[in-house]
Amino acid sequence: MTRRYEMTARARAREQTREAILDAAIELFVDAWYDEVTIADVAVAAGVSTQTVVNHFGSKIGLYLAGLAERFAPAVKAERAAAVPGDVESIVRTVVKDYERTGEGTWRLLALAERMPELLPIIEDGHRFHRDWVETVFAAEIASRPEELDRFGDLLVVVLNVGTWHSLRREQGLSPEATVDYLLTLVRALLR
């Protein structure tokens, strides 16, 4: 009985260490380029040794991919779930709120994928998720245009894409509220 308890306690401690490492990694990667963060940085932030990070994730890219899959993607999905299907303002506000939190990291991830092919499956999953989300929240509007189903869906995906947000927020220098207004204008024009 004691042995079983020790193993359970050990497994729980191992899982807590893993979670602390992931928390630290997400915190560091969110505001920096991949190349700017080291395993040693993550170890210090998590309060563990560099070897402990390696033992849990194998490598920096292993840690990065685990963070994307276990923390970043689920947070985006949870954020996007708040959108009310068919309510254009709710949809646009939800996507802008998501991008205000994740947009810069997503933008860096897209740039990084050009030289790190191991990120391509994550990028493809992200594109697929975004398209599915757009098709879900605009299902009634898309279904009402069977003759231009693909074209209409494609345009909505582009208008609500992180690249459009990035252009409005970073290149044009708009505020989050102005970005919402511009995106509402674009989506409503498509819906006419």
Residue 5: predicted pLDDT: 62
Query: Shortest CA distance to 139 belongs to which of 148, 129, 149, 147?
Result: 149
Range of the domain at 19: 1-61
Instruction: Give the tens place of pLDDT for each residue, 81-137.
Output: 999 999 999 999 999 999 999 999 899 999 999 899 999 999 999 999 999 999 999
Instruction: Give the tens place of pLDDT for each residue, 41-86.
Output: 999 999 999 999 999 999 999 999 999 999 989 999 999 999 999 9
User: pLDDT-based confidence at 173, cuts 50/70/90?
Assistant: very high
Average pLDDT of the residues in 158-183: 97
1 has a pLDDT exceeding 80? no
Residue 142's Cβ-side half-sphere holds a number of Cα atoms within 13 Å equal to 19
Q: How many CB atoms lie within 10 A of CB 192?
A: 4
Query: Shortest CA distance to 150 belongs to which of 137, 162, 134?
Result: 134
Residue 67: predicted pLDDT: 92
Same domain, residue pair 141 and 54: no
Coil vs helix vs strand at 171? helix
**Quick check: is 73 in a domain?**
no
What's the whole-model pTM score?
0.85
Same domain, residue pair 172 and 96: yes
User: pLDDT-based confidence at 143, cuts 50/70/90?
Assistant: confident
Same domain, residue pair 26 and 86: no
Number of domains in the chain: 2
Same domain, residue pair 57 and 104: no
CATH number at 19 reads 1.10.10
**Quick check: is 76 in a domain?**
no
**Quick check: is 183 in a domain?**
yes
Same domain, residue pair 114 and 189: yes
Query: Shortest CA distance to 83 belongs to which of 93, 70, 73, 75?
Result: 93
**Quick check: is 75 in a domain?**
no
**Amino acid residing at 12:** R
Same domain, residue pair 99 and 22: no
Same domain, residue pair 87 and 39: no
**Quick check: is 45 in a domain?**
yes
Residue 137: predicted pLDDT: 96
Average pLDDT of the residues in 139-158: 85
**Quick check: is 74 in a domain?**
no
2 has a pLDDT exceeding 90? no
Residue 3: predicted pLDDT: 63
Same domain, residue pair 123 and 48: no
Same domain, residue pair 92 and 52: no
